[in-house]
Structure 1
Amino acid sequence: MHWPFTLSALAASVVAGGLIGFEREWRGRAAGFRTHILVCLASSLLMLAAMSQGDWAFRALPDENIVTDPTRMAHGVLTGIGFLCAGVIFRSGFSIHGLTTAASLWITSALGLLFGAGLFTLGAVGTAVTALILVGLRLVNRQLPSRVLTDVAVSWRREGPSPQAEVEAALARHGSEVRHDRIELAEGGAVIRRTWRMKVHGEAELKALADSLCGIGGVCDFVLDPRDD
């Protein structure tokens, strides 16, 4: 094993994982700075080990030829990282969160494999493009008209007049593309819960919708769940 090459690969892995992890840490995501560094570093270490199988402490059987294939290690790492990615994807109500963080962990692992294989230029380009996607495209997105996909759940008592018409009017007034989702009977049949999916134009409109729902008589509970990765 050539130590200058090994140390360079490990250092590049730490830097690449740190850059991607810093963006996720800044966004307050479950997998942040340390997690991405460890994923990238582990991938690089395993790939370095696969690249130097001639130094492994094992003896081949007599008259047997050992054929090494480092790509098998890459396949195993990328398959195994899927279990870690699954841990950062969670469901809140009817929304799925964490997909971008899972994708960032997966590509961080791939970058570590590239550095471990000695493909420094490809790894550096991949790191730069990933950082551009996570940071640059978010800055571009901020300049575009904000339209947040939001899951809305509203509950009211089964007894008494139904406020459903007023609720739907408020949704249409403060959002667009309102679609019915589910109808539930909760609390032993005492409460009706309706859910919708809609697009809200910015946080101010989301707050205005909340104020409108608070002012509707009969509404006993509501949840506004904007989707954001």
Structure 2
Amino acid sequence: MREDEKTISRSSFLGSLGTLGLLGSLPFLASACKEPKAKPTIYDGNSEDSIIDNILTRRSIRKYTDQDIPQEVLDTILKCGIFAPSAVNSQPWELRVIQNPKIIAEISKRHTDYLRIEKKEIKDPENHSINYHAPVLIIIAKAIKGTGTLPTLLDCGLLLQNIMLAAHANNLGSCPLGGIVPFLNLDNNSDLLHLFNIPSDYEIAITLALGYPDENPQAPIRYTDKVKYIR
């Protein structure tokens, strides 16, 4: 990050984006991107094999290339996301797909300042990235009250899982980012939520890093003894 980006004021930052600063980063509105170099995975088995393999091989990725994601791929992934089930089909979510590097850099800078105030560890303060330098940051907001007492947070979790599995099916990596959620919901970051056009009766539920992976982590141990059959 350049020094002038580190010291830019909030008002200057928001003003520099202009009216279309956000809209250009939303799904279905961005211009076409370069074709990816990654080759698609081809399965010899049936659709059941491919679905199960997709679930079992997805990993959280914390290292990404700078390769752009084609718009049609993003559209497919987001379509899979909003086809997730929700209680009485309430769809109590709002999604924002942030591709503008200035916005991501601003959030990262604010998060660095927040961690310093809270006296929390920052592994690389000069290169801190809230989404591991992925080219895309997806923000999922949930209705605060929902429809009555419906489990809106669970609905957003189902949406998130659809997005991550669809991303993996398209040879993309992802990583859910829950640690920055309380920070983004702070009152002094309301200007960002306003910039993202998130309604006042919504709050951030979860965020997600998305991009082409630059690592291939192995699966950690899964504890099968946590599954019990009651017959």
Tell me the TM-score normalized by structure 1: 0.24
More helix by share: 1
- Structure with larger RCO (C-alpha < 8 A, sep 6+): 2
More strand by share: 1
Tell me the TM-score normalized by structure 2: 0.24
Mark the structure with the bigger radius of gyration.
1
